[in-house]
Amino acid sequence: MEAESRKLLLLLSVFLCCFVGVARAQSYIGVNYGEVADNLPPVDETVKLLKSTTISKVRLYGVDAGIIRALAGTGISLVVGVANGDIPSLAADPAAASRWLAANVLPFVPASTISVVAVGNEVLESGDASLAAALLPAMQNLRAAAAAAGDGAAGIKFSTVNTMAVLAQSDPPSTGAFHPEIASQLQQILGFLSKTSAPFMINPYPYFAYQSDPRPETLAFCLFQPNAGRVDAGSKIKYTNMFDAQLDAVKSALGRAGYGNVEIVVAETGWPTKGDAGEAGATADNAKAYVSNLVAHLRSGAGTPLMPGKSVDTYLFALYDEDLKPGPTSERSFGLYHTDLTMAYDAGLTSSGSAASPSNGGGGGATAQPSAGGWCVASAGATEADLQADLDYACAQVGVDCSAIQPGGACFDPNTVRAHAAYAMNQLYQAAGRHPWNCDFRQSATLTSDNPSYGSCVYTGGQ
C-alpha cells in the first residue's frame, strides 16, 4: 500500500509539473499598450480582454495607475516607462530618482508585477547627445533607489528601448555591429545590463525591412511564408524569415561588443493593417500573416539559429489602434484589436476556453477558429515551382518530420513534387496548430475533409 501511495504521489508530481509547463508555455508573448488615442475602452474591459488571451506581459510607455492596479493579481507582468523628458533630472539627482520610484512604482508593488522599467524610448537614436549621455546615470540612480526600497522593487530590472537603427550593420546577421558613434555610451550601458542581468530591448520590424525592398520574395521572407531562404555567407546559416535574421544581427552585435551574454527582449514588433498609397504591404492580410506566424514561431520554442531552443520574450505592437498618432496612416493601424474590443484579425492569441472576440476588420472577416480536423494538401492550380518551394520550406521547419517522403519512406512513392509537397504541407499544418491560415502557402494549398492517406502512407490529421 505504501509503495502504491509513493507511485501515486510520483504520478501526481509529474502531472503538476506538466500542467505548470503548459500554463507557462506562452509566458514569452507580450503586447504594447499605447494610449495615443481618444477612444480607448475602459480599463476593466481591457483587462478582461487581456485575460481572455495567451498574452502574459504588457508594456506601457509611461505609468498608468489605472491599468497597473487593474492588472494586480492577474499574473500579467508589466513594463513601465520613464519619459525621455524625465531622464536629465533622474540622472542629475539620486533623490529625484527615489521620488520617481516612490510615485510610479512603489505604490503598486508587489500587488502588481512590474518586471522592467524602460528608461526612455529610442534615446540613443534621438540625435540628442546630452540626453543620450544622461541615460546611463538615470538607469543607475533608479536601480540604486529600487535596491534601497527593498522588497517589491529590488528585483525590478532597468533597461532602455532601442530601434534597429543602433546597428550600423545587420545584413547578413553575422556582420551585426553597433554604430561607432554610440559605441562608447552603449558599451557602458551594456556593462550595466550585464552586471544587473537586465535585458537589451530592441524593436525589430520586418515590415520596415520590406518597405525598403518591396519585392514578393522579400514579403514572403518577412511574413514567415515559404521562400527560398537567405544564406549568411559568414556563418553559412540559412535564414527562412526576417525576424530571426534581425534578432541574430543584434546577437552578433552584442557578441562583437563583448556582451553576448546579455538577454535580448523584443520590445516592439508588428505589422499595420492599412497604410497610405505609398506604404507597400500595409494590409490586414499581411498583418495577420506576420503576427499569427510569429506567434506560431514563438510557440514552437525553436528560437533563432544563434539562440536556439528558447523563444525570445516578444511584445507585439500593439493592443489597439491609436487614432491620435501623427504620421502616415500605418502609424495609427497596428492594433491587434479595435477599440470596440473586436479583433482586427485573428492572430491566434485567444486562450483555450475563452470565447474569441468577433472580427469586423479585414484579413478574413469572421473569427478564424482552429480547424476541427481535416488535412492540408496541394491545391489543383498550384505550379510545380510553387510546390517545390513549399516542400523545401515546410521540411525546414522545426517539428516537421519529412522522413516518410525520403527514399524508402512509406510516402516516397509516387516520387513527384506534388505528392511530396502535399505530405510536407500537411505535416506543417498539423504541427502549427491546424488553423486555416496554416494551410495557405500563398494559396498553393487547400484544406480537405477527404483523408489523403494511401496504402502504408498515413497522413497525420483527421476529425
Question: Which are the contacts of 368, defined by CB distance < 8 A and separation ≥ 6?
Answer: 346, 359, 435, 436, 437
- Grid cell for residue 257: 561588443
Indicate if 122 belongs to the active site: yes
Please name which of 15, 53, 38 lies closest in space to residue 322, comparing C-alpha atoms: 38
Per the CB < 8 A criterion, the answer to whether 270 and 334 are in contact is: yes
Which candidate in 122, 181, 217, 331 is catalytic? 122
Pick left, alpha or beta for residue 75 (phi over 0 → left; psi -120 to 50 → alpha; otherwise beta).
left
Residue 314 φ/ψ, nearest 5 degrees: -135, 125
DSSP H helices in 180-236: 183-196, 206-212, 216-222
Helix (H) or strand (E) holding 276: none
Residues in the chain, how many?
463
Cell digits for 33?
A: 499598450
Q: Which residues have a Cβ under 8 Å from the Cβ of 35 and sit 6 or more positions away? A: 61, 62, 64, 322
Task: Using DSSP, state whether 134 is helix, strand or coil.
Answer: helix
In terms of Cβ atoms closer than 10 Å to its own Cβ (0-12, 13-18, 19+), residue 325 is: middle
In the chain, how many H helices and how many E strands?
13, 16
Closest CA to 325 of 42, 46, 29, 32: 32
**One of 268, 279, 331, 384 is an active-site residue; which one?**
268
Residue recorded with cell 546630452: 130
Q: CA-to-CA distance for 25 and 376, rounded, in angstroms?
A: 26
Cβ atoms of 408 and 323 within 8 Å: the answer is no
d(CA 102, CA 410): 66
Residues annotated as part of the active site: 122, 268
